[in-house]
Amino acid sequence: MGVQIPFDNTYATLPERFYTRQGATPVRAPALFAFNAPLAQSLGIADGADHSALAQVFSGNATPPGAAPLAQVYAGHQFGGFSPQLGDGRALLLGEVATEAGRVDIQLKGSGPTPYSRMGDGRAWVGPVIREYLMSEAMAALGVPTTRALAAVTTGEQVLREDGPMPGAILTRVAASHIRVGTFQVFAARADRDALQRLTDYTLARHFPQAEGPMGLLQGLMEVQADLVARWMSIGFIHGVMNTDNMALSGETIDYGPCAFMDAYHPDTVLSSIDRQGRYAYSNQPPIAHWNIAQFASALVPIMGDEDRAVEDLTEAIKAFPALYEAAWLRHFGAKFGLAEATPDDRPLIEAFMTHLARQGLDFTNTFAALPKVPAGMEDWARDWQARGPDLDLMARSNPRVIPRLHRIEAVIAAAVAGDFAPFDEMLAVVTNPFSEAGAEFSAPPAPDERVTRTFCGT
């Protein structure tokens, strides 16, 4: 039985300047090594297809009925510098599925070159595919809005990277959409008011149906991004490459490149090998989100009538972001301390705890998981905290016991490169149950010789 996916495509009905239609470049010998059956079921993907048929579809070798493969165009600020045209350089949107929870995209990553590849080979190797699979599924289990991993295949081909030839792989990603801040920027840069208006209307209908007009869209984006970044901060997550083309209008975490969860807590942690100035350090993520939103606001100016009035209104509107973020930060960090209704009066208590973590270099995840046991030297702090009557059940739901630690991911990737995917399966089972007790192998911080000090995109 072939793979049946109930496609219901809408992005493909937009004008063709939004994308380039094309199929995937076939691969030699696709083999499925991961398939997210519960996610597939939620998408209405019919049971019964064997691994061979799944591998053919999720490698791009076979195009399922109803698919309308295309590469999306977008622009973006990358490390602060504007690139007027980027786009899907190694990915194809297969199509969309309307589910009970809302419409989603199904996209292949690593499916071959497109007109937007910019000298790249359009391929992915097994390392970044495994990293995104583990990271995105862990984030979903943590309750963080995120793209999801539906399937992963090896291609039977090698791709050339800095460290030499690596086994090729393709990830199938599911997202609420792939509309980015950069999608708006590409049409603003082209002074294409018609495309901007169409994109605004489409995005409002898809993601913010209760909102109206560009200002409503901006407000919606600020709200979902304030909540998302506060969630990242509350679990010690560093995205690593918060370019405007990596900020989704859906409010999902997207594009897991040089991302990481912190081990020891240091607010200025930077791990990405390409972030030489520390632009996207852990502590910089909230102001960078605000900066990205300002760029989004700029892209809306052409469809807002009088330019001077539009700039004035948008400038005033984005001033609301810090307060939105502060409220979200208190909500998510408050929950970690069992404070269901954290207020600004609780901020000094939270900050004192975080300062102690940083001074002592304590493990972010494990220190929170150990609460209500507090680190040595915090006895006075503990009395103040206990006086607030913390909710232990809320803490248990808010403080994971295991995260996908970098050194464990690197070990899984090394095994996969050697052809052994059993460690991947084992780690996936653990990180998708983050609030359960895990063995020391997965919950322990890295030993000094295991520490990963640099992360890479893998492109």
Active site residues: 245
Please give the C-alpha separations between residue 81 and each of 78, 280, 404, in angstroms, as whole numbers: 5, 14, 31
How far is Cα 317 from Cα 376, in angstroms, rounded to an integer?
A: 44
Asked if 275 contacts 258 with a C-beta cutoff of 8 angstroms, the reply is: yes
Q: How many CB atoms lie within 10 A of CB 387?
A: 9
How far is Cα 11 from Cα 279, in angstroms, rounded to an integer?
A: 33
Place of tokens 């997965």: 442
SS3 content of the chain, % helix, strand, coil (to 5): 45, 15, 40
Nearest by Cα to 400 from 226, 141, 148, 147? 141
The DSSP line for 334-396 is HHHTT-TT--GGGHHHHHHHHHHHHHHT-BHHHHHHHTTS--TT-HHHHHHHHTT---HHHHH
How far is Cα 124 from Cα 256, in angstroms, rounded to an integer?
A: 13
How far is Cα 171 from Cα 365, in angstroms, rounded to an integer?
A: 28
Asked if 452 contacts 446 with a C-beta cutoff of 8 angstroms, the reply is: yes
Can you give 174-236 as a three-state secondary structure string?
EECCCCEHHHHHHHHHCCCHHHHHHHHHHHHHHHCCCCCHHHHHHHHHHHHHHHHHHHHHHCC
Query: DSSP E strands: which ranges in 211-319?
Result: 237-238, 260-261
Phi, psi of 380 (to 5 degrees): -65, -45
Phi, psi of 264 (to 5 degrees): -70, 140
Phi, psi of 101 (to 5 degrees): -90, -5
3-class DSSP state for residue 125? strand
Asked if 351 contacts 336 with a C-beta cutoff of 8 angstroms, the reply is: no
Asked if 396 contacts 435 with a C-beta cutoff of 8 angstroms, the reply is: yes
Cis-peptide, bond into residue 167, ω within 30° of zero: no
